[in-house]
Structure 1
Amino acid sequence: MIQIGFCDDDLSILSELRVLLDRYRVERNVEITSAAFQSPLELLTEIERGTRFDILLLDVMMPGENGIDTAREIRRYDQSMKIIFLTSSAEFAVESYTVGAYFYQLKPIWQESFFRLLDSVIAECAKSGSMSLILRCKSGITRVELDKLEYCEVLGRALWLHLTDGTVLESGGGMDHLCEQLTEHDNFLRIHRSYLVNLDHIKSIVPKTITMDSLAELPVPRGKYAELKDLYLEYAFRRKQVFLT
């Protein structure tokens, strides 16, 4: 299910976008929910409450806070939302990319260009969604690319995700729920009730320790070394990785 938000102070534009989206739903046979906002304040209030949009069509020029400033605020809560600016002039194109905009749509909005844009951005959402994880962290809603997730650990009541670039994210979710989300990805293995590792980032396994690419050392539970080693080797062979002995 794709969630789309519209924000424009012009009611006629919001009405036009709803009509175009309804046509798109029917012609493409896709499930999309939408919400419309007449001001950045309404939109930001909803996002701060926890509402998440996959795609946001945002007017650049609005009374009070403009679209660019609104996008900067949104990025405090959500780094992965695909933001598309609505504008009557291409002069804001360069500035729009400073806030991680996906694209900008010139007004007036024609059906052909609108459909083509939605085709592109929805395909991008599907692509990034299949290889990423959406987390609600202290820093806001964050999309984590799975190939950059090295390992996860439980500390206290929090879940800590360690990324390959050294970033550490704190999430309130539980390890059991995280494992369920990653069931389809065979490169993730729960080695301990408090640890989940990405097999692609294991540097070495010895009887008491798994060393990750970052040189982080994770404990191997008593009596589990042989099982974990065999699971890792099976995964490596499936990936046709080469071993020298």
Structure 2
Amino acid sequence: MFKVLIVEDTPAEAQVLQDFLGRYAAEKGLELNVEVLGSALEFIDTRRAADLVLMDIDMPGINGMEAAQVMRGYDEQTPLIFVTNLAQYAVRGYSVDALDFVVKPVEYHDFAMRLDRAVRIMTRNVRSTMALPTEDGIAVVSHSDLLFVDMLKHDVCYHLADGRVLRERGTMRATAEKLGKDEFVRVSSGCLVNMGRVTRIGAESVTVADGTELFFSRSQKRPGLEKLANFIGRSI
């Protein structure tokens, strides 16, 4: 299931988009969870996690372009489509990495073609990103930005390349399933390491990009070293 946010201050126009999304989902066999926010201010205040954002530009107070600039400060991954009658903003859309523009009044077939492209990106992103809680709301984090993941009591701790440590309640088993088997190696029952971020492999441990040394448990040492060897061989 994909989460889609519509940021639109005119209820009738938000309803058109909801209807089109429902039609598209039925035609493509998709599950879409659609939520409508009535202002750009609500959007940036709540920082809702989503797989796709459809945003009007011409809104009172903070407009859609300004909201998109704020969004890109904490989320560089989520595709954004502007749905607007202000076609002159198209060039500025590149500054916030907008995926596309749909000009009002929205026609379904034009809208559906743009959604085809968005769905391809959403599918790819679901495999390579995750939404994690922060003090300010939600951060969309790329798997490649993770150094390692470990447990602190009942919390999963995500250690990022930029120095942040984000935490959420969970289990290591569920986290391993989300991250997948191709990028991460288990060094102990409570620690997963991003193989692409390993800078040194020792006899008993691995070191990641920030200098943290992580030690293998007895049971994980042999399979972990074999998996790292295979990964390095594929990467060369």
TM-score (norm 2): 0.80
TM-score (norm 1): 0.77
Deviations 1:119-141 (A, max 9, x none): 11111011111122222233532
Q: Which amino acid aligns with 2:100?
A: F
**Cα distance between partner residues in 2 of 1:13 and 1:162:** 41
Deviations 1:147-200 (A, max 9, x none): 33221234577544334x444332233452423423x32442332354321234
Once the two structures are TM-superposed, the CA of residue 110 in structure 1 deviates from its matched residue by: 1.9
Once the two structures are TM-superposed, the CA of residue 240 in structure 1 deviates from its matched residue by: 7.3
**Cα distance between partner residues in 1 of 2:62 and 2:16:** 23
2:140 to 139, 143, 152: 143
RMSD: 3.0
Q: Does 1:70 align with 2:62?
A: no
The aligned residue for residue 97 of structure 1 is: 94
Q: Does 1:168 align with 2:168?
A: no
Q: Does 1:216 align with 2:212?
A: yes
**Cα distance between partner residues in 1 of 2:75 and 2:61:** 22
- 8 Å contact 2:184–2:195 — kept in the other structure? yes
**Cα distance between partner residues in 1 of 2:68 and 2:129:** 22
The aligned residue for residue 108 of structure 2 is: 111
Once the two structures are TM-superposed, the CA of residue 230 in structure 1 deviates from its matched residue by: 2.1
User: Any idea what SS the aligned residue of 2:50 has?
Assistant: coil
User: Any idea what SS the aligned residue of 1:206 has?
Assistant: coil
In the alignment, structure 1 segments of 5+ residues that lack a partner are: none
- 8 Å contact 1:88–1:108 — kept in the other structure? yes
Once the two structures are TM-superposed, the CA of residue 237 in structure 1 deviates from its matched residue by: 5.4
Q: Which amino acid aligns with 2:176?
A: C
The aligned residue for residue 55 of structure 1 is: 52
1:241 to 225, 233, 236: 233
In the alignment, structure 2 segments of 5+ residues that lack a partner are: none
Greater helix proportion: 2
- 8 Å contact 1:138–1:171 — kept in the other structure? no
The aligned residue for residue 2 of structure 2 is: 2
Paired residue total: 232
